Chain A
Amino acid sequence: MTAVVVPADLWDDGSTAVLGTWLFSDGEQVTEGAIIAEVMRDKASYEIAAPASGTLRTHVAEDDEIALGAAIGTIE
């Protein structure tokens, strides 16, 4: 199982963001490197890539607040 983590270096002021969009649904198969989510902060949208291939499990809902380094899902 591999955690889907918001990279800690996406921005540098420690502010929070929201999970903008899941591009795949919970339970869908994803491929390593595929863009699976977008995180929104300050009117900027950041792509999040799948760290592994497998079944996506989403841990946060769209519009939920998230922090840098947060695990937003897992790949099983």
Chain B
Amino acid sequence: MDAKDRTRCDALFHALGAELRCIVADATIHDTVADPQAAVDEDIVMARQALGESAAMKRARLWRNRPCLVVPRRHAHSPAIGEALALAGMPVAFRKSGGRCVAHGPHVANLTLVLTGDHVTLGAPYRQLLDLLERLFAPMGIVGEARSVPGSHCDGRHNFAVGGRKLAGTAAFVMQRGERQAVLAHASISLHFTASDLAAIMRVESALGIDADYSAQSHVGLSELVRMTAFAGNGADRETCLA
């Protein structure tokens, strides 16, 4: 990713942040925390705090991480994890939600939604996150759908796909504390699709014994979509987003 792409990603991230604050006034915006694992763990801290509150909570966080791969924690004890880490070519962090390996970095915006109490919909942990994604992208003229995208990494039924290509992937973690539950649903939004991410993901997953054969054609970044749509004014610098 060159400096121009980085500038465009920064502008898109800030545009999403501005739009998120219009929807969820107290949303947290975190840009590039120092330690990749600490940035991932901040989601769990937020969920634990929400579980500690007696009232029903709905909290949102938009954040970016340093370049790294993020792997479900269940693989941390795989006999092949050492080989996988060596092949990653960048730091590897572990998360508690399901799915497969994903890449983080300045070109990926992560959106986390934590719900407790009456906001919890156990049977449909992704519904409110997908609704929020829809509202976030609408001012950019981007309309998507929840669907699986064959050939995409970390595929699932609840991707946010545009034109049949994956713009954001989702995963969830449901925490249990006595009778109380918290749903943590998060999305990785591609600000700028980076093919080298796929290569790193496939190296790591192959080492873990996962059949990994992904196609760049199955993915799309927000930077590409914004070029194709009328970018509505939402506080972002349109020229920078399109630069």
Chain B residue nearest in CB terms to A48 = B176
A45 and B99 alpha carbons, distance in the complex (Å): 9
A10 and B176 alpha carbons, distance in the complex (Å): 11
Q: How large is the interface on B (under 10, 10 to 19, 20 to 34, 35 or more residues)?
A: 20 to 34
Contact A45 B98 (CB under 8 A): yes
User: What DSSP secondary structure best describes chain B's contact surface?
Assistant: loop
B152 to chain A, nearest CB (A): 12
Chain B residue nearest in CB terms to A20 = B74
Whether A45 touches B122, Cβ cut-off 8 Å, given contacts A21-B73, A21-B74, is no
Interface code A11-36, partner B: CB below 8 Å = 1, 0 otherwise?
Answer: 11100000011000000000001010
Pick from A11, A21, A44: contact of B171, CB under 8 Å: A44
Chain A residue nearest in CB terms to B95 = A45
Whether A45 touches B174, Cβ cut-off 8 Å, given contacts A11-B122, A21-B73, A21-B74, is yes
Q: A interface vs B, CB < 8 Å?
A: 9-13, 20-21, 33, 35, 38, 40-49, 62
9 A–B pairs (Cβ distance < 8 Å), ordered by A: A9-B122, A10-B123, A38-B74, A43-B158, A44-B172, A45-B98, A46-B176, A47-B175, A49-B176
Q: Which 10 A-B pairs have the closest CB atoms?
A: A12-B123, A44-B172, A43-B99, A43-B98, A47-B176, A43-B156, A46-B174, A11-B123, A21-B74, A43-B171
